[in-house]
Structure 1
Amino acid sequence: MVSFTRILFHQRSQALSTIKATGIRPLRSLLYVPCSSPKFLAKSLEENVASSDTIIYDLEDSVPISRKKEAREDLVSFLKANPYLKTRLAVRINAVGSGFEEDDLASIFSIFPSSPSSSNFTPLSPLKPEDHSSTPPLPVIVIPKVDHPAHLSKVASLIKEARGRSAEVGSRVPLIASVESAESLWNVGDIAGWRGEGCQMSGLLFAAEDFCASTSILRSPSRVELLYARSRIVMAAKAFNIAAVDMVCINYKDENVLKEECEEGRRLGFDGKQAIHPAQISRIQSSFSPSLSEIHRATRILEGMEAAELENKGAFGLDLGGGKAIEMIDEPMVKAAKRVVQVANLLGMTDKALSSTTDTDEGPSPHGP
């Protein structure tokens, strides 16, 4: 138990150092909140909604063209009245070329012109009054219909103009690009690797319904026709060390379908999943968090490798117990184990792992269903 505890807390220190250096942290649930009505905005303060790791206030698809201006004004009024939310703040603007994107960004950054970078903002637990700086952190900007890097450069230019000279030196606005077309998927590596002044490419998001409409793909319950697109998005994101966010489960009242999609998405390498209803948050968060069995296994791997290194060995056999075979462990599996324990620490699961000595069935197995 002493070694188990030491490893967990050592990995916590390393995880926090990584966060400080890169701004990368676990991203699980991203819930859309329509800006089409002040009622929806007010509901986003309720605990069942605010429990999402990220809330995306949507100015795009959920708002009819006739209400774009009113929705934008409603969102600005709401954020002025509630500058310190309990979760990471994101805003989905209208697409480049829609005619609305410039006003969207000008309105948003009229509130956050000189805010510190949101990479310094930890969304995993509620903010306390003493956590508040003089200005709230910058929002994440979700950009729909990003077909090529030029769309990102255009948004960066508009953000720079909107923030003006009051922007804090060194602060960068996080961007998440939405992959929605064949052209977008073809260019996804260039999109993921984009760099621009004043902004930071932070993630890729898969908009499955728009993608199917663009490519004439016919959806099936198995989702097999989307495996290539989803895998390509994950690989592009991992290549540039940014987040990969899986598609919306449109069957939001079917818990079994949501569970299947979440577990499949995690096995594919996604970091989180979009949500369209508060009832989806809990399942998404549990699926994209390490289970207690994964944490215990990861810690045993780290303990075993420490012992092997003392004997100048680069690998060792992990006894699976219960009369099962011994599994050979080497450096790639150690890296994966470190990631599991770091994520567990960042999600506040350390105490639960320390107090538990039994496996749990929450979350998908890292080796498949």
Structure 2
Amino acid sequence: MDPRLRPYRSVLYIPASKERALDKARNLPVDAIIFDLEDAVSADEKENARETLKAALSQGGYGARVRIVRINGLDTPWGHADAEAVKDMDADVLLLPKVSSAADVDALAAITGDIPVWAMMETPRGMLNAAEIAAHPLMTGFVMGTNDLAKELQTRFRPDRLPMQTSLGLCLLAAKAEGLIIVDGVYNAFKDDEGLIYECEQGRDLGFDGKTLIHPAQVEITNTAFAPSEAEIDLAGRQIAAFEEAEARGQGVAVVDGKIVENLHVATAREILAKAEAISALQEG
């Protein structure tokens, strides 16, 4: 599967210290898993969590799900050992928390070499340095850490996330400029389906590739929200057909449903169909 088309609709946090959760994750219909050595693991479990996670990843069974390991920060007592341990784990990506500059990624790479890196974007300085972080040669994805960011910004909760929009926008611009994956922050009220739907739709409209999740109950809603809808797939097919027909007549513009269709619309339509096919292939696999 083309990595640029690979779905990241649902990215579920799993505590690396919980064997039962690690096992259950093998059968969840998520696109990616963040195996968490940081916030989800208490201080007295940190060392054991590394061994538990290494054993689970060695056992395998996670299929096509992207395996992401979030370590503790290098400024903590556990970060350096986490980074060393990940080098021997069967993981796809290393997730570094509280990235504030490209120098943070350099410090990690000095330990982990050329392992692909994702950045937790969750500090004001990280927002201001998003472009340089995204441009780092090892950087392949951003994860919005909206809980920590809200704390740092001293914002109030609003369903429309107005206080977050500048930060979300800066990270989206940086990620899109460098061709990175970017996934939205978590929605804490995991029993509030209506609120989750609203935030997923907002995130999708903003341009996020998917959303991080704290509970398996959130997976279905998120997978649906970040996948092309049947209406979008139908329209994309009709736009492509109409444009190709117009080209055959020597014209550079078509009309579908009373709206102009040009090259840029056709490019978007092809991306929609390719993403739908990639999701289908992932589900079948």
TM range (shorter): over 0.9
Amino acid paired to 2:17? S
In 1, Cα distance between equivalents of 2:4 and 2:83 = 23
Q: Which moved more, 1:332-341 or 1:248-257?
A: 332-341
Give the secondary structure class of the aligned counterpart of 1:173.
Answer: coil
Aligned partner of 1:352 in structure 2 is none
Aligned partner of 1:88 in structure 2 is 66
Give the secondary structure class of the aligned counterpart of 2:68.
Answer: strand
In 1, Cα distance between equivalents of 2:37 and 2:94 = 11
In 2, Cα distance between equivalents of 1:141 and 1:211 = 20
Aligned partner of 1:129 in structure 2 is none
Aligned partner of 1:74 in structure 2 is 52
Contact kept? 2:5, 2:274, Cα under 8 Å: no
Structure 1 residue 23: deviation in Å? Answer: 5.3
Amino acid paired to 1:67? E
Structure 1 residue 254: deviation in Å? Answer: 0.5
Aligned partner of 1:39 in structure 2 is 20
Change (3 A) 1:24 1:94: farther
Q: Deviations over 1:59-115 (max 9, x none)?
A: 0011111221111122122223x2342222111111121131221122222244xxx
Structure 1 residue 24: deviation in Å? Answer: 4.9
1:141 pairs with 2:141: no
Contact kept? 2:10, 2:222, Cα under 8 Å: yes
Q: Deviations over 1:111-132 (max 9, x none)?
A: 44xxxxxxxxxxxxxxxxxxxx
Structure 1 residue 281: deviation in Å? Answer: 0.7
In 1, Cα distance between equivalents of 2:269 and 2:56 = 42
1:152 pairs with 2:130: no
Aligned partner of 2:247 in structure 1 is 309
Q: Deviations over 1:301-352 (max 9, x none)?
A: 111111111122221211x2xxxxx111112211211110110111118xxx
Amino acid paired to 2:207? G
**Residue of 216, 232, 240 corresponding to 2:170:** 232
In 2, Cα distance between equivalents of 1:216 and 1:298 = 42
1:281 pairs with 2:223: no
Contact kept? 2:25, 2:62, Cα under 8 Å: no
Aligned partner of 1:25 in structure 2 is 6
Give the secondary structure class of the aligned counterpart of 2:116.
Answer: strand
Give the secondary structure class of the aligned counterpart of 1:30.
Answer: strand
In 1, Cα distance between equivalents of 2:73 and 2:165 = 26
In 2, Cα distance between equivalents of 1:157 and 1:28 = 31
**Could you list the runs of 5+ residues in structure 1 that have no partner in the other structure?**
1-15, 113-137, 161-171, 321-325, 350-369
Identity among equivalent pairs (%): 31
Aligned partner of 1:333 in structure 2 is 265
Contact kept? 2:159, 2:199, Cα under 8 Å: no
Amino acid paired to 1:240? E
In 1, Cα distance between equivalents of 2:224 and 2:16 = 27
**Residue of 188, 203, 213 corresponding to 1:265:** 203
Q: How does 1:64-213 map to 2 (within 5 A)?
A: 64-80=42-58, 82-86=59-63, 87-112=65-90, 138-160=91-113, 172-195=114-137, 200-213=138-151
TM-score by length of 2: 0.93
TM-score by length of 1: 0.73
Aligned length: 280
Contact kept? 2:17, 2:53, Cα under 8 Å: no
Structure 1 residue 259: deviation in Å? Answer: 0.4
Whose Rg is larger? Answer: 1
Q: Deviations over 1:153-182 (max 9, x none)?
A: 11111112xxxxxxxxxxx52211111111
After TM superposition, the runs of 4+ consecutive aligned structure 1 residues lying more than 4 A away are: none
Give the secondary structure class of the aligned counterpart of 1:348.
Answer: helix
**Could you list the runs of 5+ residues in structure 2 that have no partner in the other structure?**
none
Amino acid paired to 2:85? S
Aligned partner of 2:276 in structure 1 is 344
Amino acid paired to 2:7? P
Aligned partner of 1:361 in structure 2 is none
Change (3 A) 1:262 1:23: closer
Tell me the C-alpha RMSD between the 2 structures: 1.6
In 1, Cα distance between equivalents of 2:170 and 2:34 = 24
